[in-house]
A and B are shown apart, each in its own frame.
Chain A
Amino acid sequence: MTIDSVRGAPDTPGLAEPELVQLLTPEGERVEHPDYPLDLSAEEVRDLYRDLVTVRRIDLEAVALTRQGELGLWASLLGQEAAQIGSGRALGEHDMVFPTYREHAVAWCRGVEPVRLLGMFRGVNHGGWDPAEHKFHLYTIVIGSQTLHATGYAMGVQRDGVLGTPSAGATIAYFGDGATSQGDVNEAFVFSSVFNAPIVFFCQNNQWAISEPLEKQSRIPLYKRAQGYGFPGVRVDGNDVFACLAVTRKALENARTGQGPTLIEAFTYRMGAHTTTDDPTRYRLKAEEEAWKLKDPIERVKAYLVRGDLADQAFFDEVEAGAKQMAKELRAECLALPDPGPMSIFEHVYAERHPLMTEEQEQFAAYLASFEGEVSP
């Protein structure tokens, strides 16, 4: 069997792959793109590298915790670090994020402590952070529905009349290649388009919707779908953190200044399983994974730093040690997460209290009090 069918190998001859915005090659060489100039200081590049390494380590620790029975499930971001860090670091303070359940690195960029991501997967809460505080919505498990929430939010910002002012915030909705087949996503595209909503649709095309390959989702490249709805679409190398940063920055700025939605297709690859309950060896070839390993999002930044003499070994060691320490702390914090009290079910269901709920809460409290011994409420 030959490997020439390897998905998404853009350099495969005969395979008419559309153009991909790329600013950093897999070998770590900087290339320019006329539409997306990017000027980063050495310090900024080092910070991006630190982000990438740290989130990969955090993700790895969460996978291990799942294998040890400490989490019920985990959706690994392995391979998609650049797409998430690049777009996440493009966000401004007023921008609002609507993630799926895999945007751990975007959460990192929004200042959500890593342990907060684990609560839901450990089954001790339904979210774990304040979406308003971090401008990062709770994880959405239902495929694609957050694109509609995001569209509504963006239309709200539009109606606040702040677009074009310094306090304008864009909305960014994350989703995957599989979600593009959902009705919700298509509805979100339609609404955003006709109302010119200030939104960025950030699709991480990781080539696999669980076990369903991309060719079962679309006959045309995903970014080209935007044209049919009437807004621009662009495909970016999702393993290139520079390109993801530059392209997302521009799209967010367009949204904030009232120029409407953009679809960004970050062309990347899910190196791990769909979630910890999935076994990709049952449906895809090792050769495909090997081909994508050569495009690793972290290695190319490292190569760039080394090539340009922008970082020394001490820096890399320090980043590595920092990530390791962070993982160790995360493990301890995860194990120390308190179990929820029985009364907590009343806390987050409604935004405001109402009489029926108060009555039920009192009944339940009295019921719990009817037992001997202490229960933490």
Chain B
Amino acid sequence: MTPVSGTKQFNLPDVGEGLTEAEIVKWHVQVGDQVEVNQTIVEIETAKAIVELPCPFEGVVTELLVTEGQTVDVGVPIITVDVAGEGGAPAPAAPAVREEAVPAPDEPGIVSSEPKRQPVLVGYGVKEGATKRRPRKGSNGAQAPSAVPAAVTGTAAPAVPAPAVPAPARPQPVDNGLPLAKPPVRKMAKDLGVDLASITGTGPKGSITRDDVLAAGSAPAPVAAGAREERVTVKGVRKATAAAVSGSAFTAPHVTEFLQVDVTRTMDAVRRLRELPDFADVKVSPLLLVARALLTAVARNPMVNAAWADGPSGAEIVVKRYVNLGIAAATERGLIVPKIKDAQDLTLPGLARALNELTAKARAGKASPADLSDGTITITNVGVFGVDAGTPIITPGEAAILAFGQIRDLPWVHEGELAIRKVTTLSLSFDHRIIDGELGSLVLRDVGAMLEDPLRMLAWG
């Protein structure tokens, strides 16, 4: 792994006080590029933040050692730069000296070879099983440690025990038939269904390491040649979504109600709105009128736009006098719920514009944290997936979520006769701690009534 002469490798640094790994988000340079000292070469995402890393060398990029999307341990080389031939290159003298020297085990910036590092609170961590200790004088590594204090103080009973005098040879593993493995490794093996007894450890003293378990866990099952299962690492948006929905599902008792609605008039209204000059430059969709109907329903039933909170004197219900309307959007990166802030104040064209812009931003992955936080109520448009209804999970910190199903031509009794009408299904999930069945039904009926006859939005708005 040692770089050939004239090239230098940059190891992934710990950019945040004791972080052990980071994900490579985006390379800003390619092989063959000329780079300068402190030029941004890569964006990485740690547990704390996305940061840009500046290059410590000047030269030509010869190799990118890790790919975008890869999660890399701190200390692993990520890029090779050819600094040869840069006569006056500001690659400072000092690091060159450091490279020539025999790399000390704890020296950052030097290419670390195979031994893995264990996380510690600050810095680069300690190499696993590679604690470097010079041998004691006159010892062959197997002497009892007790000689030292006496040798130091020359007294029989030293008042101060000599610090850090570990047995030079660690106790040999007790052969009790159990395989050697640390508790987290055992847990991992259990989770992956790997039998530790079936693995030969490669760690110190033959102990079983995480990698051993992973290797055993990913070994092709003897039964099938092709992979019958695929394990997808849960991270990023998927991870955040999983945490949010399970958090919500297990704290807020959900109730979901359904209502089928004839939305033929809403569809007519959408068509006519599209022809108005005010909407010339924005997309008008049925979702827009659903959003407006929900906003009107909120104004009529403020309690639905609320949050459960733990106040100083016990639980409280916080009723919001503003509506930050969340619109669940399926994006390449997963479920994202951008919020239209203060949606209650927007005109219909304003609402349409906000809806377009925010969902476009979310799909492009450009939604800011502010765009995604502080919602008060949410709409999820499951109809776009071609289904009628669902039991949506409430966004944490809110009290209700409205799902809007697909709009289908269905036989429907209209004005006393059977007719083919445009019909959709609305489902409203609400937090039963805040909202009773009566209020929930009222809200759902209000929204339904407005979609059945959009003129009601005028009457009630």
Structural contact, A360 and B54, CB atoms closer than 8 A: no
Closest chain-B Cβ to A296's Cβ sits at a distance in Å of 21
Given contacts A123-B123, A335-B94, A336-B94, contact A282 B17 (CB under 8 A): no
User: Which positions 299-323 of chain B face chain A at CB distance < 8 Å?
Assistant: none
Identify which of residues 113-138 in chain B touch chain A, using a CB-to-CB cut-off of 8 Å.
122-124, 133-137
Whether a CB of chain B sits under 8 angstroms from the CB of A332 is: yes
Q: Given contacts A1-B341, A363-B162, A371-B134, is CB(A331)–CB(B92) below 8 Å? A: yes
Say whether B13 contacts A67, CB under 8 Å.
yes
Given A67-B54, A68-B53; A371-B162 close (CB under 8 Å): no
* A367–B162 CB distance below 8 A: yes
Flag whether B48 is at the interface (Cβ < 8 A): yes
A67 touching B51 by the CB < 8 A rule? yes
Interchain CB contact under 8 A, A66 and B98: no
Interface, chain A (partner B; CB < 8 A): 1, 60-61, 64, 66-70, 72-73, 123, 276-279, 281-282, 285-286, 328, 331-333, 335-336, 359-360, 363-364, 366-367, 370-373, 375
Q: Could you name 12 residue pairs across A and B whose Cβ atoms are closer than 8 Å?
A: A64-B38, A68-B53, A68-B54, A69-B14, A69-B108, A70-B109, A72-B17, A72-B123, A333-B94, A363-B152, A364-B163, A375-B134
- Residue interface mask B92-110, A partner, CB < 8 A = 1: 1111011000000000110
Shortest distance between the CB of A364 and any CB in chain B (Å):
7
Report which of A123, A286, A367 forms a contact with B148, defined as CB distance below 8 A.
A367
For residue B11, CB closer than 8 A to chain A, the reply is yes
**Contact, CB under 8 Å: A69 / B93:** no
Select the residue from A328, A359, A367 with max chain B CB neighbours within 10 A. Answer: A367
Residues of B within 8 A of A333 (CB): 94
Docked-complex contact B49 and A279, CB < 8 angstroms: yes
Scan B1-30; emit 1 where CB is below 8 A from any A CB, else 0: 000000000111111110000000000000
Closest to A335 in B: B94
Further 14 A-B residue pairs, CB within 8 A, beyond A276-B15, A367-B162: A67-B51, A69-B108, A70-B56, A70-B109, A277-B48, A331-B90, A331-B92, A335-B95, A363-B153, A367-B148, A370-B152, A372-B134, A372-B135, A375-B134
CA distance A318 to B181 in the complex (A): 62
* Residue pair B17, A285 in contact (C-beta under 8 Å): no
Q: A367 vs B147: C-alpha distance in the bound complex, in angstroms?
A: 11
- Listed in ascending order, the chain B residues whose CB lies under 8 Å from chain A are 10-17, 37-38, 48-56, 90, 92-95, 97-98, 108-109, 122-124, 133-137, 148, 151-153, 160, 162-163, 165, 341-342, 368-370
Which residues of chain B are within 8 angstroms of A328 by Cβ–Cβ distance? 37, 90, 92
B369 CB contacts on chain A under 8 angstroms: 281-282
Q: Which residues of A contact B13 (CB under 8 A)?
A: 67-70
**Chain A residues with CB below 8 A from B93, complex form:** 332, 336
Residues of A within 8 A of B160 (CB): 359-360, 363
In the complex, the chain B residue whose C-beta lies closest to that of A332 is B92
CA distance A123 to B14 in the complex (A): 14
Q: Are A367 and B108 in contact (CB under 8 A)?
A: no
A367 contacts B152, CB within 8 Å? yes
Q: How far is the CB of A226 from chain B (nearest CB, A)?
A: 32
Tell me the interface secondary structure of chain B in the complex: loop
How many angstroms from the CA of A331 to the CA of B92 in the assembled complex?
A: 7
Partner pick for B48 among A66, A72, A279, A373, CB 8 A cutoff: A279
For A72, the chain B residues whose CB sits under 8 A away are 14, 17, 122-123
Shortest Cβ distance from residue B332 to the other chain A in the assembled complex, whole angstroms: 22
Q: Contact: A70 with B108, CB < 8 Å?
A: yes
User: How far in angstroms is the closest Cβ of chain A from B326?
Assistant: 15
With A69-B108, A371-B136: A277-B15 Cβ-Cβ less than 8 Å: yes
A64–B92 Cα distance when bound, in Å, is 14
Whole-angstrom CA separation of A333 from B108 in the bound complex: 16
User: Least Cβ distance of B429 to chain A in Å?
Assistant: 28
* Complex interface: chain B residues within 8 A of A123 (CB): 122-123
Q: Are A371 and B137 in contact (CB under 8 A)?
A: yes
How long is the Cα–Cα vector from A282 to B370 in the complex, in angstroms?
8
Q: Indicate if the CB atoms of B151 and A64 lie closer than 8 Å.
A: no
For the complex formed, measure the closest distance between the CB of B446 and the CB atoms of chain A, giving whole angstroms: 28
Residues of B contacting A332 in the complex (Cβ-Cβ under 8 angstroms): 92-94
